[in-house]
Structure 1
Amino acid sequence: MARHSFIQMSKLPNVKGRISYITSHARQENLYATYRTADNAFWNNLARESRQEFQRSGAEGKCIEARELIIALPEVYTQYEPQQVLEDFTDEFRRRYGVECVSALHHNKRKTNYHIHLIFSERKLLPEPDVKIATRSVFFDETGKRVRTKKEITGEDGQIRKGCTIIKKGEVYESHLFTVKDDRFKREPFLREVKEDYTNLINLHIENPEQHLKVFDKNSVYLPTKKIGKNNPKAEEIAADNATRQEWNRTADMALVSGIEEAKILEIKQTEIHDKVSQSIKSEGWLPNLFRRIVNKAKDILQNLIREYGIPPKPTLDIDMTEFCTMRNLMIRVQDEARGIRNLQDNILPKLKTQLAETTGIFKGKERKALTEQIQQTEQEIDRRLDKLPDILREDGYPDVQAFMATYREAEAVVEQYNRDLAEWERQVKQKSRPPRPPEKESVRNRLRQLQEQGRQQKPRKKSFDRGSR
């Protein structure tokens, strides 16, 4: 599978504190660059007005003053000038959404995670401050909420209650420097758009297409793995989850290559994983061991389906069409590799385990040790070949097995339709009727080329960053 990009968004209840934290050399061990599109006065005013608005609304919870994106960069980006990288990524966001930003470029403590923190405002400055003058006395209770009459803020002793305020006629009772929050930043399409845009931007500056990142598609046959942050107390648990997810993903690749329909794999993923995990969370809460058992059971169901289904015979083609022959040869390669893996999984490994179980007695220690080593080597070989399976396709520009299989099935349908049209033309010729012109191979070639390009990753474009050492 292709490596996925990591772009995460969070809400900030204390924007000034967060800005201070990410831009402080004293608090960040590996801080390479900082960048601001607005000064401290902007963020101070933004925080104050956000809190005032929140107080007036009477809403519960925390006041959200701004939002933050964390954008993980591949390590190849360390060869570029840090300030230029940071400014390009920040200016791209400001250009697209028109809001002010503060950003910083970091490494984590072990220098294994090169990343950008990008804080952005959900509000814009108004061209002119919006100042409201009281045309009559205005009353506010202890919470800052406006009330209609003085009586509502008066205590039993006839005095104004502590914390309540009165704005007299002619005085300013409300002022705004900013627009209201832009609701699009709260919606899922925004984050999806940001992930797509920044993944494309990251890939522009990676020369090797095989190292390009892709945005994880939650509707694909695969399960996403989780990022393990520094000092995460659940690091071992997440690593175990990731291993289980990867096992499912490898099995999904084998199922696709074996000819099992994508819809069937998605059905198993939905009913055997998503639905059962949702049910278990509702009834028992999040239990990591139960999650792994559910995924492993779904993987076993898919493996059994692979065994029942079998790999179809090698595809044949009645016409010599270079574009389809290229895809056909790729299909043959991955199917041959899948057969080799299946042989190890279904024949060689079970036989070795049976031999080990039957090798008993106090004088058979060396034989048992040799068989145990053979089993371990076979299991490692299976893992290595499963990981290598998508690489066969990536060499030709396809991001993963699912993308290739979708392209291949479309191409196969185009060629089959051509063969049907050609057979019909030949039938009419034999009947000596007046047939139309035979179908043209050139139009089919053009369609196949188009499908290939759609299925492959985009080619890298020229880099704009200046290279340089820190």
Structure 2
Amino acid sequence: MAGRIDYISNPKRQEHLYATYQTEGATPEFWKNLARENQLDFKTSGTTGKCIEGREFIIALPESFVEYKSDDVVRIFTDSFHKRYDVECSAALHHNKKMTNYHIHLVFSERKMLEHPEVKIANRNMFYDEQGKHRRTKKEILDEQGNIRAGCSIIPKGEAYESHIFTKKEEWFKSKAFTREVKEMFTEIINCHVKEESEKLSVFQQGGAYLATKKIGKNNPKEAEIRADNAARQEWNRTVDVALVEGVPEADILKVKQEEITDKTVQSIRAHGWLPDMLRQIIRGAEDLLQEMIFKFKLPPKPVPKIDLQEWNDMWILMDKLQKQSQEMKQAQQEISSMKKQLSETKGFFKGKERKSLESKIKQTEKLEKRIHTDMEQNVKQADYPDVQSFAKAYHKSEELIREYNKDLREWKNQTAQKKQTSDPPTKASVLKKLHSYQQEGRQQSKWTKSQ
């Protein structure tokens, strides 16, 4: 762990290092002692694999944070973690080589220093084998020639044969609940300091309609597989956005996700174990089903607001734009599906040129589809909504209220012989109040990332 800390905090090893910070007890001697005790415990346990000497979080920051003092940024996050969990930390603030990822590496100990270290002194020579296990006699660690075997050791009488200056590892730090708690804490810190409302984040909601993507670590041997899985997940998420804009109920989307993705994944693993392309096939099957729902689903006719409600007009204009974009995306998806089918049927030695042409058209159409989806996301963010899902939820609730208002307005007109031109309908104030609450509800929902 000392090597890792040197790597993230050494200006000779980091091209874009802005600041480092350590809690009071996180000295080089602390990390050295911690590593030694972790290694001894690991060896004694007989566990295979790699010894974990400490743990690390990488905190992605909004690029706007470069405007703050780097020392303050790294200190706020580190001290917040230290105050909450009372463990020593070392941190460093970086940019990646392309200057596109502003982030903090925060390394922390899973153990705390004991107030009274435990030291055991040998009252006779102590013998240990290659696994670090204590043996009663010296003969048990000798080879056939009477020499001490490699990896065995002897601790002379009067020396310390066992010492503990740290507590045991905190099991809580290995749990998913802990990771989620830390994400929520860091998200809250970020949201308190961002200057733009659109930069606010939240932790990915596991029970929602979207699928989370996985981060690909450096030199990950399964990089290609994870990239392919992420692409399938992102395609599902884009289709979900189309479904939401088209008015497919979120409950129906969640049902498809549960039955066609979650349940089938569990069933497949139980029956066949983990297969590399299994998840992608399941997601594509669920996506096909969801697309069928989108194509068959019919939106009720949109009522034309008869009240001077600028916020509703803005929402209506934005929804109209999103629906046109969703139509373009649906068309692109259909073209991709058709071309892929045609490509699969185009075989033979003399079909190479035709296959290349189809592959090129597919790539271009996929780029178009992704660009449309990016435009959709940008449009809702410009209107102060974090994502399409949040806007669609607020819009459809608001649309229902507008229909209710128009119905009440017609009834009110029929019942009123003479209408004062300057008076407001009696239900207008309540409708505006409800509509505003739904818009606020939509704006308050934000996400960490649909991937992570």
Scaled by the length of structure 1, what TM-score is found?
0.68
Could you tell me which amino acid in structure 2 is paired with residue 16 of structure 1?
Answer: A
Shift in alpha-carbon separation, 1:249–1:119, aligned structure 2, 3 A: same
Q: Secondary structure at the match of 1:220?
A: coil
- Residue 31 of structure 2 corresponds to which residue in structure 1? 43
Compute the displacement of 1:73 (Å).
3.0
Which range is displaced more, 195-204 or 409-418?
409-418
- Residue 86 of structure 2 corresponds to which residue in structure 1? 98
How far, CA to CA, are the matches of 1:457 and 1:194 in structure 2? 21
How far, CA to CA, are the matches of 1:73 and 1:342 in structure 2? 34
Q: Secondary structure at the match of 1:312?
A: coil
Does 2:281 align with 1:298? Answer: no
Q: Do the aligned residues in 2 keep the contact of 1:314 with 1:332 (CA within 8 Å)?
A: no
Q: Secondary structure at the match of 2:299?
A: coil
How far, CA to CA, are the matches of 2:225 and 2:170 in structure 1? 38
- Residue 16 of structure 1 corresponds to which residue in structure 2? 2
1:432-462 CA distances to partner (integer Å, 9 max, x unpaired)?
xxxxxx9865455444333322321489xxx
Residue 453 of structure 1, aligned match among 428, 440, 451: 440
- Residue 351 of structure 2 corresponds to which residue in structure 1? none
1:40-61 CA distances to partner (integer Å, 9 max, x unpaired)?
1222222233344555666665
Tell me, which stretches of 5 or more residues in structure 2 are unaligned? 143-147, 343-356, 417-424, 447-452
- Residue 153 of structure 1 corresponds to which residue in structure 2? 136
1:193-222 CA distances to partner (integer Å, 9 max, x unpaired)?
222222343344544444444433232222
1:136-183 CA distances to partner (integer Å, 9 max, x unpaired)?
99999756679xxxxx835899x9x98687989xx9886543333333
How far, CA to CA, are the matches of 2:51 and 2:109 in structure 1? 13
Compute the displacement of 1:69 (Å).
0.9
Q: Do the aligned residues in 2 keep the contact of 1:144 with 1:164 (CA within 8 Å)?
A: no
1:335-385 CA distances to partner (integer Å, 9 max, x unpaired)?
3443455567669x989x99xxxxxxxxxxxxxx9x999999877655433
Q: How does 1:163-174 map to 2 (within 5 A)?
A: none
Q: Secondary structure at the match of 1:223?
A: coil
Could you tell me which amino acid in structure 2 is paired with residue 36 of structure 1?
Answer: Q
1:207-251 CA distances to partner (integer Å, 9 max, x unpaired)?
444444443323222223344555666656554444433322221
Q: How does 1:309-388 map to 2 (within 5 A)?
A: 309-315=297-303, 327-339=315-327, 341-342=329-330, 381-388=368-375
Could you tell me which amino acid in structure 2 is paired with residue 92 of structure 1?
Answer: S
Tell me, which stretches of 5 or more residues in structure 1 are unaligned? 1-14, 147-151, 355-368, 430-437, 460-470
Compute the displacement of 1:110 (Å).
4.3
Q: How does 1:161-310 map to 2 (within 5 A)?
A: 176-228=164-216, 238-280=226-268, 283=272, 285-288=274-277, 290-310=278-298
Compute the displacement of 1:79 (Å).
4.8
Could you tell me which amino acid in structure 2 is paired with residue 287 of structure 1?
Answer: P
Q: Secondary structure at the match of 1:180?
A: coil
Residue 381 of structure 2, aligned match among 390, 394, 399: 394
Q: Which of the pair has the greater relative contact order for Cα pairs under 8 Å at 6+ separation?
A: 1
Compute the displacement of 1:191 (Å).
1.0
Shift in alpha-carbon separation, 1:307–1:172, aligned structure 2, 3 A: same
Shift in alpha-carbon separation, 1:315–1:286, aligned structure 2, 3 A: farther
Shift in alpha-carbon separation, 1:176–1:389, aligned structure 2, 3 A: same
Q: Do the aligned residues in 2 keep the contact of 1:216 with 1:224 (CA within 8 Å)?
A: yes
Compute the displacement of 1:428 (Å).
13
Q: Secondary structure at the match of 1:255?
A: helix
Which range is displaced more, 330-339 or 187-196?
330-339
Residue 407 of structure 1, aligned match among 390, 394, 397: 394
Q: Do the aligned residues in 2 keep the contact of 1:68 with 1:118 (CA within 8 Å)?
A: yes
Q: Percent identity?
A: 47
Compute the displacement of 1:31 (Å).
3.2
Could you tell me which amino acid in structure 1 is paired with residue 7 of structure 2?
Answer: Y
Shift in alpha-carbon separation, 1:69–1:321, aligned structure 2, 3 A: same
Could you tell me which amino acid in structure 1 is paired with residue 441 of structure 2?
Answer: Q
Q: Secondary structure at the match of 1:310?
A: coil
1:8-47 CA distances to partner (integer Å, 9 max, x unpaired)?
xxxxxxx223223323344434433322222112222222
- Residue 12 of structure 1 corresponds to which residue in structure 2? none
Shift in alpha-carbon separation, 1:111–1:331, aligned structure 2, 3 A: closer
Q: Do the aligned residues in 2 keep the contact of 1:16 with 1:44 (CA within 8 Å)?
A: yes
How far, CA to CA, are the matches of 2:384 and 2:205 in structure 1? 18
Could you tell me which amino acid in structure 2 is paired with residue 223 of structure 1?
Answer: L
Q: Do the aligned residues in 1 keep the contact of 2:408 with 2:427 (CA within 8 Å)?
A: no
Scaled by the length of structure 2, what TM-score is found?
0.70
Could you tell me which amino acid in structure 2 is paired with residue 451 of structure 1?
Answer: Y
Q: Do the aligned residues in 2 keep the contact of 1:250 with 1:387 (CA within 8 Å)?
A: no
Residue 32 of structure 1, aligned match among 9, 12, 18: 18
Could you tell me which amino acid in structure 2 is paired with residue 306 of structure 1?
Answer: I
Q: Do the aligned residues in 2 keep the contact of 1:122 with 1:185 (CA within 8 Å)?
A: yes
Compute the displacement of 1:88 (Å).
2.7
